[in-house]
Amino acid sequence: MERLKINTPFLIQRTQASGLGLLASLTAMLLSTGCAIKVNKALEVTTGSTTTTSTGSSAAYTAVCSGYTEPTPDFTINSNGDTSDAVAGDGICDDGGGNCTLRAAVEESDGMGGGMTIKIPAGMTITVGSSIQFVSNLAIFGGSQTTSIVSGGAAVRVFNSSNAGTDFEFHNFTIQNGSSASNGAGISATGGNLSFSYMTFSNNVSTADGGALSLSNNFASLDPVLSITCSTFNGNSAVSGGAMVGGVKTLTLTDVIFTNNIATFIGAGFYFGGANTAATHTLNRTYFEGNTNATGTSAALAFDGSNPIAATITNSTFYSNSANGASVLYTDNNTTTHFYNNTMLTNSGVAGPSAIFTINTGGTFNIANSILWDSSGPANICSIAGTMNSLGHNIFEDSTNCSTDASDIATDPGLGVSAANGGFTKSIAITASGAADGGADSAYCPTADQRNYDRAATCDIGAYESQ
């Protein structure tokens, strides 16, 4: 089938009925000739007073991470001090001197049985002298993701949820400079369901595991759920799980950035096991750059569970990550990974068993529509002791030791540089008419790309859909 590319923006101006009718007629005419249609730039349809701008074949773009909507708080912090509440449980956040500190508000929430919502105003930095402890359900949000800040002062852990099964949610603020000799320098949690959005976790350092977050699953009755959207983990470090570590039943990461995190054993981005039953882990529109693990394996992510884990990774970019081995992914024990429409560029395995993937005994790795390019290291791209299945339409610069399909190719995809191309995360554009353009298997293509632009019916290989 021949493909017609409309490379120049055009404008159709008619009444609502005739404008859409003209577009439908044009589409029908071209399809009748045996052409597949791909619109590479903006298509605007003006109907009356309404103009719809779209890109790609069906052209829609749905904005992501467009701002946090604040709820009504029960307590609003009015002091950046660190004093305790005078009378916990009386319904008043007050340290006895008219100050509602973050610590006082959390203690008041616990005293009232939990469930309170606390606001940290924009422009306020709170440095805690000891970890803020809570034992009941809690919600904290900030007035600004970048200027509402809670810091451990590079001396203490910031938050500790010490009661098994406590649920909490944090939104729209920064947790930074936590420090701990045990797991979780930013947050340590035991079980429970956690929800984060519009959060920044930066420069939290654990000399154990989980630089920013540790979610423990040491109780047989608990199967935690962790959901993170529109958030950034930058510059956190730990032995394992430079940014995050733990065991969860359901992990959902959407529009999440991992940059410059460090581990020395496994998983500089994160290291997650499963739960007490089968677990489901889903990553969509995630971005990993500059994460390092100089002495261990996996600079980006690692899965390992005694019970089965089903992991699905789509529309994600892995750029310039470096590890002793397996710079992108390490899996072990009962993990089945579905890896579709992802882009990997300039990742390196320094001296370990693989430059990109290590799939150990008991692991299964299914890959489709993905780009592995310009990776370096003395070893093979893949180290497969488990099972690797290429479902086809991948671009491998070097497929040594990888399972391949007849539809996989080794043609330069013509990748650009990592850049802000729209959406929440950075992405890497492909060259129009290059090897990745229109080369994917639509059976595995998500409906939208990493930026949340709709994909064409004849979709592209990798995380980015050309427009």
Is residue 17 domain-shared with residue 131, that is, in the same domain? Answer: no
**Does the structure show a pLDDT above 50 at 139?**
yes
pLDDT (0 to 100) of residue 379: 65
pLDDT (0 to 100) of residue 341: 98
* Structure-model confidence comparison of residues 33 and 41, the more confident one: 33
Contact 283, 253 (CB under 8 A): yes
Across residues 137-165, what is the average pLDDT?
95
d(CA 241, CA 13): 54
pLDDT (0 to 100) of residue 51: 36
Is residue 31 domain-shared with residue 149, that is, in the same domain? Answer: no
Is residue 357 domain-shared with residue 226, that is, in the same domain? Answer: yes
pLDDT (0 to 100) of residue 218: 56
**Highest mean pLDDT (candidates 16-20, 104-108, 298-302):** 104-108
Is residue 49 domain-shared with residue 151, that is, in the same domain? Answer: no
pLDDT (0 to 100) of residue 130: 98
pLDDT (0 to 100) of residue 332: 82
| Helix-strand-coil split of the chain, %, nearest 5 | 5, 40, 50
Contact 312, 367 (CB under 8 A): no
Query: Is 97 contained in some domain?
Result: no
pLDDT (0 to 100) of residue 428: 97
DSSP 35-100: EEEEE-S-EEEEETTEEEEE-SSS--B---S--------SEE------PPPSSTTSS----SSS--
* Structure-model confidence comparison of residues 145 and 42, the more confident one: 145
Q: Rg (Cα) of the chain, in Å, rounded?
A: 24
d(CA 329, CA 150): 32
% of the chain at pLDDT higher than 90: 68
pLDDT (0 to 100) of residue 58: 44
**Does the structure show a pLDDT above 70 at 293?**
yes
Backbone angles phi, psi at 197, to 5 degrees: -145, 150
Is residue 15 domain-shared with residue 147, that is, in the same domain? Answer: no
Is residue 295 domain-shared with residue 375, that is, in the same domain? Answer: yes
Is residue 40 domain-shared with residue 135, that is, in the same domain? Answer: no
Is residue 286 domain-shared with residue 183, that is, in the same domain? Answer: yes
d(CA 78, CA 89): 19
Domain's final residue, options 39, 54, 69: 54
**Does the structure show a pLDDT above 90 at 43?**
no
* Structure-model confidence comparison of residues 123 and 40, the more confident one: 123
Query: Is 107 contained in some domain?
Result: no
Contact 450, 255 (CB under 8 A): no
Query: Tokens standing for 273?
Result: 């096991």
Q: pLDDT band for 367, please (50, 70, 90 cuts).
A: very high
Across residues 351-378, what is the average pLDDT?
85
pLDDT, one tens digit per residue, over 404-429 is: 999 999 999 989 999 999 999 999 99
Query: Is 313 contained in some domain?
Result: yes
pLDDT (0 to 100) of residue 375: 82
Is residue 361 domain-shared with residue 241, that is, in the same domain? Answer: yes
Q: pLDDT band for 84, please (50, 70, 90 cuts).
A: very high
Query: Tokens standing for 33?
Result: 């000739």
Across residues 52-81, what is the average pLDDT?
80
Backbone angles phi, psi at 227, to 5 degrees: -125, 125
pLDDT, one tens digit per residue, over 161-218 is: 988 889 999 999 999 999 999 999 999 998 789 999 999 999 999 999 999 999 986 5
End-to-end CA distance of the chain: 20
Total domains in the chain come to 2
pLDDT (0 to 100) of residue 85: 98
Is residue 238 domain-shared with residue 366, that is, in the same domain? Answer: yes
**Does the structure show a pLDDT above 90 at 399?**
no
Domain of residue 29, residue span: 2-54
Query: Is 135 contained in some domain?
Result: yes
Across residues 380-393, what is the average pLDDT?
90
Query: Is 62 contained in some domain?
Result: no
**Does the structure show a pLDDT above 50 at 44?**
no
Across residues 273-284, what is the average pLDDT?
86
d(CA 432, CA 249): 40
Given phi > 0 = left and psi -120 to 50 = alpha, else beta, which region is 7?
alpha
Q: What DSSP designation does 336 have?
A: E
Contact 111, 90 (CB under 8 A): yes
Query: Is 213 contained in some domain?
Result: yes
C-alpha angle with apex 25: 22 to 31, nearest 5 degrees? 140
Is residue 188 domain-shared with residue 300, that is, in the same domain? Answer: yes
Query: Is 226 contained in some domain?
Result: yes
C-alpha 132 chain-centroid distance = 26
Domain's final residue, options 54, 72, 94: 54
pLDDT, one tens digit per residue, over 85-95 is: 999 999 999 99
Across residues 278-292, what is the average pLDDT?
96
Across residues 296-321, what is the average pLDDT?
92
As a whole number, the mean pLDDT across the chain is: 86
Query: Is 229 contained in some domain?
Result: yes
d(CA 75, CA 321): 42
**Does the structure show a pLDDT above 70 at 37?**
no
pLDDT, one tens digit per residue, over 436-459 is: 999 999 999 999 999 999 999 999
Is residue 151 domain-shared with residue 7, that is, in the same domain? Answer: no
pLDDT, one tens digit per residue, over 207-249 is: 999 999 999 865 445 678 999 999 999 999 999 999 999 988 8
